[in-house]
Amino acid sequence: MAAIRVEGLGRAFGDTVAVDEVSFEVGRGELFGLLGPNGAGKSTLVGMCCTLLRPTAGTATVSGHDIRAERAAVRGSIGVVFQETALDEELTGVENLVFHARLYGLSRARRRERVPEVLDLVDLADVADDTVDTYSGGMKRRLEIARGFLHEPAVLFLDEPTLGLDAGTRRDTWEYIRALNDRGVTVVMTTHYMEEADALCDRVAIMDNGAVVALDSPTQLKAGLGGDVVTVETADRVTGLPDRLRGVDWVRGVEVTGGGLGVTVDDGARRVADVVRLADEAGVTVSAVDRRAPSLETVFLDLTGREVRAGGDSGLAEPAAVGGRGDELGAARASGPDGGE
């Protein structure tokens, strides 16, 4: 049985379709990514799977429980880490976890075993008795991951788990996510960081405008694109060069970057010189050239014809909106087995 089965699941807010009747399955023990720009529908999709949002079309099952008819059973089988911090910063790390464990009905004996275990897993045992307001952003995120895993859920949802973290802390967080998945937990994570999905996920569903536009392993998605990416750094503006390249039959895609262009071509080794020649003809001075295999970023560009959008994302329902308080209690009510809408 699949850990998650999504069948024609959709959500509209008035005339705006946030998720457009998508269907897919997530296998047990899989590390599955929902990849796409902010506003693509990733968080709305996860919100429905967590029973925080009611679908306007279709349904889904999580750990065999229907998200419409068995909401309490779904919530009892999952853990959720929200985009926004939902910790009580006046409590210590241990106190935050104990409070969450009590809400999930863990016995006193089990709490005494489980809390130190998850703190050790995320390397917070040394600061377990410090108040959370003294934690760094990365430490808070690790504590939230520990809290989401505390009650041993079958499925753990992580909504943009490394959002706002610096590059080093982000990569450290990847290791904690891998460690949880290695224990057999099915992990579903949303991200708009292409390299994050590439590094972590067994499979990814690329979303855009509420639809799943591709679903496969990162390796297969990149192999399906074919060709190489020639990265061109320029000393001046690239005006006119992108359109000139798009009109060439051996160019598969052109991405304008902050410092130049990324050009997807059929034969990178052969075409580097041709790209430089076309730049010269367009009056663009090339300062550096590199060739590499396609990335998920170039896959997305190929599928949608544009770069990943910037902008705000509503994320999962914030704890204050769901539980009435913007702290641990609100988050627990949102994600607990008997939480409210």
Q: What does residue 234 show for φ and ψ, rounded to 5 degrees?
A: -120, 155
Q: Which of 175, 186, 177 is nearest to 49 (CA)?
A: 186
Same domain assignment for residues 176 and 209? yes
Same domain assignment for residues 142 and 277? no
Q: How many angstroms separate the CA atoms of 238 and 247, rounded?
A: 15
Q: How many angstroms separate the CA atoms of 17 and 312, rounded?
A: 17
Q: Contact, 77 vs 90, CB < 8 A?
A: no
Q: Contact, 256 vs 301, CB < 8 A?
A: no
CATH of the domain at 210: 3.40.50.300
According to the model, what pLDDT value does residue 313 have?
47
- Helices of type H across 157-295: 167-182, 194-200, 218-225, 241-246, 268-281
Q: How many angstroms separate the CA atoms of 111 and 265, rounded?
A: 56
- As a 3-state breakdown, the chain gives helix, strand, coil percent values, each rounded to 5, of 40, 25, 35
Residue 299 domain flag: no
Same domain assignment for residues 191 and 47? yes
Q: Which residues contact 185 (CB under 8 A, 6 or more apart)?
A: 29, 149, 153, 154, 155, 156
Same domain assignment for residues 18 and 127? yes
The pTM score is: 0.77
CATH of the domain at 282: 3.30.70.100
Q: What is the pLDDT of residues 9-44, one digit of tens each?
A: 999 999 999 999 999 999 999 999 999 888 899 999
Same domain assignment for residues 247 and 325? no
Same domain assignment for residues 207 and 238? no
Same domain assignment for residues 215 and 235? no
- Average pLDDT estimate for 48-75: 97
Residue 48 domain flag: yes
Task: Determine which helix (DSSP H) or strand (DSSP E) holds 45, and give its type and residue range.
Answer: helix 42-49
Same domain assignment for residues 181 and 239? no
According to the model, what pLDDT value does residue 304 have?
76
Print the domain residue range for 239.
227-293
Residue 16 domain flag: yes
Unique residue bearing structure tokens 């490394």? 162
Residue 302 domain flag: no
Task: Determine which helix (DSSP H) or strand (DSSP E) holds 11, and give its type and residue range.
Answer: strand 4-13
Q: What is the pLDDT of residues 142-172, one digit of tens each?
A: 999 999 999 999 999 999 999 888 989 999 9
Tell me 325's DSSP state. Answer: S
The bridge status of strand 31-35 relative to strand 203-208 is: parallel
Helix (H, G, I), strand (E, B), or coil: what is residue 225? helix
Number of structural domains in the chain: 2
According to the model, what pLDDT value does residue 215 have?
96
Q: Which of 11-25, 43-57, 131-145, 309-323 has the lowest mean pLDDT?
A: 309-323
Residue 217 domain flag: yes
Residue 74 domain flag: yes
Beta strands across the sheet bearing 31-35: 78-81, 155-159, 186-191, 31-35, 203-208, 211-216
Same domain assignment for residues 123 and 258? no
Residue 301 domain flag: no
Q: Which of 46-50, 120-124, 256-260 has the lowest mean pLDDT?
A: 256-260
Beta strands across the sheet bearing 65-66: 16-26, 4-13, 57-62, 65-66
Unique residue bearing structure tokens 């504590």? 143
Same domain assignment for residues 202 and 231? no
Q: What does residue 290 show for φ and ψ, rounded to 5 degrees?
A: -140, 155
Q: What is the pLDDT of residues 239-250, one digit of tens each?
A: 789 899 999 988
Residue 76 domain flag: yes
- Considering Cα of 129, then 133, then 135, then 137, what sign does the dihedral take? positive
Same domain assignment for residues 122 and 267? no
Same domain assignment for residues 318 and 286? no
